[in-house]
Amino acid sequence: MSITRRELIATAAGLTAAPVVKNFPHIWVPQSSIKPVVIASGNGNTVKHDTNETCVQRAFRMMTGGTDVLDALVAGVNIVELDPADTSVGYGGLPNAEGVVQLDSCLMHGRKKWAGGVACLEGVRTPSLVARAVMQHTDHHLLVGPGAREFARRMGFTIESDLNTDASRRAWLEWMRRTDPGHYLDPAKRDGDAAALSMIEDGWIDPEHYYGTINCNGINDKGDVAGVTTTSGLAFKIPGRVGDSPILGAGLYVDQAVGAAGSTGRGEANLYNLSSYLIVEELRRGAHPKDAGIAALKRVAANTEKRLQLESGRPAFNLQFYVLDAKGRHAGVVMFGGGRYAVCDEAGPRHEDLVVAF
């Protein structure tokens, strides 16, 4: 095959940033400039369960040790799913209005272009592992309810009759004491929300765990991007309610060439705007992760119905996004109020401040 002088010059120009092998200056070796990093919601660097690692620590250690990037992220969020102290995810997550723990999760692998999810899954402490099985063993992206549970059983997962802990069951009983057990509310009164908010004020529920969730995204030194989101969903939700977490484009979206985004907070607001997809598209246009996330929060605010607005016009709920681009740059953004998100890179695990939109 012949090559023109113009093609030769263009090829050489494209290689000027690459290093040469010592003593062999005519040999050019490609070198990745991507520094691996794992980011997550704040609980990704607090919960340790029965290990000496947090989610982002484990994921980063495994990812940089050669484990597939998505497998490493799943292993990280398993720590949070299995910890009963985190009542927003997995085992011991706050149940629905009937006292049943229903779990949601989805994940995406950028390079393989694979995805999988489960919703309203009962009886399995680690829904992220079932979502991975959906991704690996089926041609589907989402299994729900009894079908998801039966699939998990056939895949060899242990099915438990009840994922409540004493703490989550006590919280549910207290909620039952304060409100209509059917949870079908008079829209003008919103008694169910009022009861839950009063429980937050009285210390029954961590305000960060009312909507809950953990999102975790990572990129390795080869540029492989992946993400996973897992949750027990809105506390005391109507049975069968599914929020944004297991929905591709809402609770999570990954594009190998661009980056990843995921969310915690009010799922309905995120679903309405498919915000994670919106963020990735902003990254595709060249936006920095921070600016891409802020753009999504502004879109959510603009599309918020009046009954969910404060007198100022600002949304009366909170929403967070965790954004990672294909260069390894990252940011966490929040509608209002501040907070922190988890990061682990070669400098170790830590929290960084969320950027506030309003």
Task: List active site positions.
Answer: 213
In what order do the strands lie in the sheet containing 252-255? 252-255, 259-265, 319-325, 330-334, 355-356
Q: Are 115 and 109 in contact (CB under 8 A)?
A: yes
Cα gap 348→68, rounded to integer Å:
20
The beta-strand segments (E) located in the chain are: 20-21, 24-28, 37-41, 103-109, 114-121, 142-144, 214-219, 225-231, 252-255, 259-265, 319-325, 330-334, 340-345, 348-353, 355-356
Q: Which two tokens stand for residue 316?
A: 């009366």
The residue written with tokens 């607005």 in the block is 309
Would you tell me how many other CB atoms lie within 10 Å of the CB of residue 150? 12
Cα gap 139→116, rounded to integer Å:
9
**HSE on the CB side for 183, CA within 13 Å?**
18
Between the alpha carbon of residue 333 and those of residues 3, 157, 213, 244, 297, the distances in Å are 49, 36, 15, 17, 8
Cα gap 94→92, rounded to integer Å:
6
The residue written with tokens 């999102």 in the block is 215
